[in-house]
Amino acid sequence: MDPLEIEPAFSLSTADDPLTSPFTTLNDLCYELSSLQDLASRGSWRSILDKVDRARKQSLLSKPHEHLTYLAYNSLSLVKLRRFADAAAEIDSMDDDLDSPLYRYESYVQNYPNRRGSMVPFVLRWIHAELPSKLGKQQETLDRFYKLLDFVRTNLNQKMSNEDDDGLNVSVNLWRRRENFVVNSIISHHLGRKEYGVCQKLINDMIRRNEEVKNNPNSSSNVVLLSKLGYIKMQYGDVEGAKATFDRIEKMIVMDDGKEKTEMKNLVSRNKALIYLVGKDYVSAVREYGECIERDGSDMVAINNKAICLMYLRELSGSIQVLEKALEIVPTVALNETVVVNLCSMYELAYVNHSDIKRTLSNWISKVAPDDFDSSSTRIV
């Protein structure tokens, strides 16, 4: 699950099974929801702000869950645009207790006669937890994320008590994905504080929880968690421990065909390349990243890192070509600040007239980039 997707409030925020929803279109769930989702998918965050503002001023939102859905889109758009203080003001307009009766369907029987549970979109809970860190309040973010994890696990346990024998209940799997996501968010914040021991404990506990699930369709989460464990070991210098973890991952993956298996194969190759990078064996790292790109031409981690390795090998023209080709072939995937910063750095090393080249790149970016793209990454003075 992409944590920043906003699920329809009726289908995924209630205690009901989403598959039993009587609604057939997104707009049946919430006023012009399909339009909001389309704008979000295109990164048109400013247009979302305008749309929400117009809907509020014209009193177009008639039900409580619609107000919450629009608040979620508005808050997410403000976060995407790095307007964190404004996003905090949006969140502060709510009761600090997101489980308040104010936000439960059964409190509005006249509107929702047959529904129960929370109508708060999950993304609002995530923003509520994440936002303090953007305002310099790291500990408050961690406290809120641990509270969110308790909320997720409580709901997961409730769903599991009603789970079908085959273990493939849609709602259960949704809450498992949310659990994995929240744990990963917590790990990222502890990692930023260099609290490696806490990170390892969280990862090992989550791996154990995933392994206890019979026929878990999200079992690939353990592979990702193990990779993160390997990266953490490398950060505090345990290269051999990281290599052993990466070897364990390779043995876990069955090399079959299919999109997910391609992603897992690339994960193995990127792990190998990372070991080569630490040993300054850039030629071998380039080979591993090249294999990733052959399997999946949109693997931007491999593309970016291959270009950096080529730069270390003093093959600037090759490194520039790798990134420019990615921007040409998969612009919606390749266009991120890290890639652009690296490409502009390579321009500065390779060309005397790098300002003109960067300006050309900047003009192209202005036409295709989403609203939240940081234009300063081109470093044009």
The per-residue pLDDT for range 230-274, each reduced to its tens digit, is 999 999 999 999 999 999 998 887 654 555 688 999 999 999 999
| pLDDT value of residue 260 | 65
Could you tell me the two tokens for 258? 């299919």
- The tens digit of pLDDT for each residue in 31-67 reads 889 999 999 999 999 999 999 999 999 999 999 999 9
Which residues touch 94 (CB under 8 Å, ≥6 apart)? 71, 103, 124
Confidence of residue 12 (pLDDT cuts 50, 70, 90): very low
203, 222 in Cβ contact below 8 A?
Answer: no
Using a pLDDT cut of 90, give the percent of the chain over it: 73
Among 135, 7, 144, CA closest to 78: 135
Average pLDDT over residues 71-80: 97
Contact 361, 343 (CB under 8 A): yes
Q: Where in the chain are the domains?
A: 1-135, 137-218, 281-381
The partner residues of 118 in beta bridges, in order of sequence, read 104
Helices (H), 167-258: 170-192, 196-211, 220-235, 239-252
Q: Please name every residue paired with 104 in a beta bridge, in sequence order, or none if there are none.
A: 118
Burial class (CB in 10 A: 0-12, 13-18, 19+), 284: middle
Return the number of other C-beta atoms located less than 10 Å from residue 130's C-beta: 20
Determine the 3-state secondary structure of 118 from DSSP: strand
What does DSSP assign to residue 219?
A: T
Between helix 259-278 and helix 220-235 the angle, nearest 10°, is 10
SS3 label, residue 104 = strand
Q: Are 172 and 120 in contact (CB under 8 A)?
A: no
Given a contact cutoff of 8 angstroms between Cβ atoms, the answer to whether 171 and 186 are in contact is: no
Spatial neighbors of 134 by CB under 8 A, at least 6 apart, are 79, 84, 87
Chain segment 300-353, per-residue pLDDT in tens: 999 999 999 999 999 999 999 999 999 999 998 999 999 999 999 999 999 999
Global confidence as pTM? 0.86
CA distances from 176 to 6, 155, 160, 171 (A): 17, 10, 10, 9
337 Cα distance to chain centroid? 16
How far does Cα 241 stand from its chain's mean position?
A: 27
Tokens found for residue 267: 């994960």
Find the angle CA(125)-CA(189)-CA(374) to the nearest 5 degrees: 80
The answer to whether 296 and 262 are in contact (CB under 8 A) is: yes
Amino acid at 151: F
Average pLDDT over residues 157-165: 73
| Cα–Cα distance, 8 to 65 (Å, whole number) | 9
Domain 281-381 top-level CATH class: mainly alpha
